[in-house]
């Protein structure tokens, strides 16, 4: 584990003193900040948008800046309230009711956010899917959730299986004209503009469903994770304390709206804080990313290690051409923020990226490097106030510091999923009988309470005797070789009598190096010197790129499956 420490970047940040805040924290104090605390009437659309739109001092503030290509569309809180009210009226006109599902199968565009708020207003479930989804991915998800309607684009309609096209009550198309519309196809076009700009929100129960997000597991079909309106308590608290959002913040989250990060922190978090959300709809391009930061004076940027890796590949000189002086906080999520990338960003962008950890199931950030806290590069940080985290052994008992085990969260934090869509058994399997939610992630906590990710529990490697290790540390040793860019290791079995475990490494190499038998041997010899004698990297393959999900997560199980002839689980959600 890395012992290095980088001093806190912003001791004045919202959270203040971590230990004090953690000890005195009470969720009730956050709940009091919502209007429903006094009125008893809950709807996230009211808390995130309407209350600012009804405030004369705030209604003209920018709520959403949407940019794609040469067009920039800006919506104030008042406009967002009116647009989403029109969309809610449209859904009601087509018979939508509380509990219905609306699938949103679109590339980033403002309509996604109007639809999200419209669903919230009527208590329907907003169900986003990636516009780059394959036919099977779309099919499995839609057949599972059986929506009343699908909001999509004419170019994507052919990705919908014909039985779904025929049997879904409404297919809403954002654009047209499209010749020969089928009976259930509705060209949305100008309809919302003809609808009233007022909508009487349905008041809901705290745990009424808000969105349904599918996450692919290593086994079985994808899980439909259901989240509720009162997730807002956890979202607001982490938005302020982890991302340091304030009313004058321009927050950019470069995550697809089909990924939880794009919805929860992309828009809900800034809106709950009365801040500005920036959405960039273009595909990644390094110069454009820097230009977006400069042009919109982004003050807080929540990104991924994958984006930062791509910026590094584009070179440090490019970064120096842009003015990022207004960027006061940077955070990442989704995959380990390796020290190499951390230090590159610190050097070339002049500020530290702050790693955070959470899952679709948790609904909010659970571990974080806070702006007011020292960073240990490579660590996911410490538990957010109000959340109890532990490392458990195989019997579900908390382990002492520096032990490798499963990362678990004490059930009952406010944004915890309400359930899995039509799958009570798989939902229950997340929890042990002692009230812990099991993440499936393997981690180590150090003696100061910082957590280090070591892989998923199905990636564990059995070394000699009873020793079990995570693949991450071995991958980091591989990456210390000058030729190695990224690495993934899997177990290829062990010789119990000899107490030796054999591994296979898959690597990508930096520009300027060429794969060869000699380099192969050299890298294996290099890692041998740094590993204990019971772990041997026996095989090594050069790959063009490692298999990853769309949000940049390494899929070791896909490598394992290819190597050992095992089922790969859902390989949907992989990068194109």
**List of residues contacting ligand 6R9 (CB under 6 A):** 215, 260-261, 333-336, 355-360, 380, 439, 441, 453, 456, 551, 553
In this chain, which residue has its C-beta nearest to ligand 6R9? 360
Residues 6+ apart with CB under 8 A from 188: 90, 111, 151, 172, 173, 174
Supply the minimum distance, in Å, between the C-beta of residue 184 and ligand 6R9: 32
Residue burial 124-135, b: 16+ Cβ < 10 Å; e: rest: bbbbbbbbebee
Residue 36 or 130: the one with the smaller Cβ distance to ligand 6R9 is: 130
CA atoms of 133 and 419, how far apart (whole Å):
24
Residue 380 or 490: the one with the smaller Cβ distance to ligand 6R9 is: 380
Supply the minimum distance, in Å, between the C-beta of residue 472 and ligand 6R9: 9
Count other C-beta atoms under 10 Å from residue 336's C-beta: 22
Structural contact between residues 254 and 280, judged by C-beta atoms closer than 8 angstroms? yes
The structure tokens listed for 235 are 């979202």
Residues 6+ apart with CB under 8 A from 468: 404, 460, 461, 462
CA atoms of 500 and 532, how far apart (whole Å):
10
Supply the minimum distance, in Å, between the C-beta of residue 458 and ligand 6R9: 11
Residue 147 or 378: the one with the smaller Cβ distance to ligand 6R9 is: 378
Residue 96 or 358: the one with the smaller Cβ distance to ligand 6R9 is: 358
Residue 109 or 253: the one with the smaller Cβ distance to ligand 6R9 is: 253
CA atoms of 570 and 300, how far apart (whole Å):
34
Supply the minimum distance, in Å, between the C-beta of residue 47 and ligand 6R9: 22
Residue 134 or 457: the one with the smaller Cβ distance to ligand 6R9 is: 457
Bond before 177 cis per omega within 30 degrees? yes
Spatial strand order in the sheet of 300-303: 71-76, 62-68, 276-280, 250-253, 300-303, 329-332, 353-357, 367-368, 382-383
Supply the minimum distance, in Å, between the C-beta of residue 358 and ligand 6R9: 5
Supply the minimum distance, in Å, between the C-beta of residue 205 and ligand 6R9: 25
| Burial of 242 (C-beta count, 10 Å sphere; 0-12/13-18/19+) | buried
CA atoms of 30 and 46, how far apart (whole Å):
16
The structure tokens listed for 266 are 């992309």
Most distant pair of Cα atoms in the chain: their distance? 76
Supply the minimum distance, in Å, between the C-beta of residue 381 and ligand 6R9: 8
Supply the minimum distance, in Å, between the C-beta of residue 347 and ligand 6R9: 21
Which residue, among 307, 308, 254, 305, has the nearest Cα to 277 in the 3D structure?
A: 254
Supply the minimum distance, in Å, between the C-beta of residue 340 and ligand 6R9: 15
Residue whose tokens read 């949305």: 188
Residue 123 or 383: the one with the smaller Cβ distance to ligand 6R9 is: 383
Residues 6+ apart with CB under 8 A from 77: 49, 52, 53, 58, 59, 60, 61, 63, 274
Supply the minimum distance, in Å, between the C-beta of residue 332 and ligand 6R9: 7
Reading phi first (left if > 0) and then psi (alpha if -120 to 50, else beta), residue 84 is in: alpha
């Amino acid at each position: 584990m890395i012992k290095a420490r980088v001093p806190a970047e912003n001791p004045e940040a919202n959270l203040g003193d971590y230990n004090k805040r953690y000890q005195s924290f009470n969720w009730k104090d956050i709940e009091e900040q919502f209007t429903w605390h006094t009125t008893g009437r809950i709807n996230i659309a009211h808390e995130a948008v309407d209350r600012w739109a009804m405030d004369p001092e705030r209604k003209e503030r920018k709520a959403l800046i949407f940019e794609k290509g040469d067009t920039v569309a800006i919506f104030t809180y008042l406009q967002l309230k009116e647009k989403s009210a029109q969309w809610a009226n449209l859904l009601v006109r087509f018979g939508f009711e509380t509990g219905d599902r609306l699938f949103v199968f679109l590339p980033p565009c403002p309509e996604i956010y109007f639809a999200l708020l419209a669903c919230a207003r009527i208590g329907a479930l907003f169900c986003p899917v990636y516009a780059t989804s394959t036919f099977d991915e779309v099919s499995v998800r839609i057949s599972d959730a059986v929506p009343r309607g699908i909001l999509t684009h004419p170019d994507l309609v052919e990705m919908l299986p014909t039985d779904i096209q025929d049997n879904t009550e409404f297919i809403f198309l954002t654009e047209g004209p499209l010749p020969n519309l089928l009976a259930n196809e509705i060209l949305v076009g100008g309809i919302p503009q003809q609808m009233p700009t007022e909508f009487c929100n349905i008041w809901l129960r705290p745990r009424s469903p808000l969105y349904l997000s599918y996450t692919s597991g290593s086994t079985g079909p994808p899980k439909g994770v259901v989240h509720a309106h009162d997730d807002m308590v956890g979202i607001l608290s982490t938005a302020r304390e982890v991302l340091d959002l304030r009313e004058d913040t321009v927050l950019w989250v470069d995550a697809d709206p089909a990924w939880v990060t794009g919805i929860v922190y992309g828009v809900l978090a800034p809106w709950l804080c009365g801040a500005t959300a920036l959405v960039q709809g273009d595909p990644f391009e390094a110069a454009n990313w820097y230009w977006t930061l400069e042009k919109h004076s982004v003050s807080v940027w929540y990104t991924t290690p994958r984006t930062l890796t791509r910026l590094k590949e584009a070179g440090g000189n490019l970064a120096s051409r842009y003015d990022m002086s207004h960027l006061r906080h940077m955070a990442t999520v989704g995959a380990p923020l390796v020290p190499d990338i951390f230090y590159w960003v610190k050097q070339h962008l002049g500020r530290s990226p702050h790693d955070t950890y959470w899952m679709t199931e948790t609904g909010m950030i659970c571990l974080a490097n806070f702006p007011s806290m020292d960073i240990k590069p490579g660590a996911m940080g410490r538990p957010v106030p109000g959340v109890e985290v532990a490392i458990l052994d195989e019997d579900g008992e908390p382990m002492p510091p520096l032990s490798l085990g499963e990362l678990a969260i004490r059930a009952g934090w406010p944004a915890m999923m309400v359930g899995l869509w039509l799958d009570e058994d798989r939902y229950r399997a997340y929890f042990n009988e002692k009230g812990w939610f099991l993440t499936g992630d393997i981690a180590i906590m150090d003696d100061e309470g910082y957590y280090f990710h070591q892989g998923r529990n199905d990636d564990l490697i059995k070394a000699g005797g009873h020793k079990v290790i995570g693949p991450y540390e071995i991958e980091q040793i591989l990456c210390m070789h000058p030729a190695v860019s990224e690495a993934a290791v899997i177990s290829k079995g062990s010789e119990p009598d000899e107490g030796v475990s054999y591994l296979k490494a898959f690597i990508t190499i930096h520009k300027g190096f060429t794969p060869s038998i000699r380099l192969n041997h050299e890298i294996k010899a290099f890692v041998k010197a740094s590993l204990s004698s019971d772990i041997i990297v026996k095989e090594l393959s050069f790959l063009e790129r490692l298999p990853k999900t769309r949000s940049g997560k390494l899929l070791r199980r896909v490598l394992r499956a290819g190597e050992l002839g095992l089922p790969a689980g859902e390989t949907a959600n992989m990068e194109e």
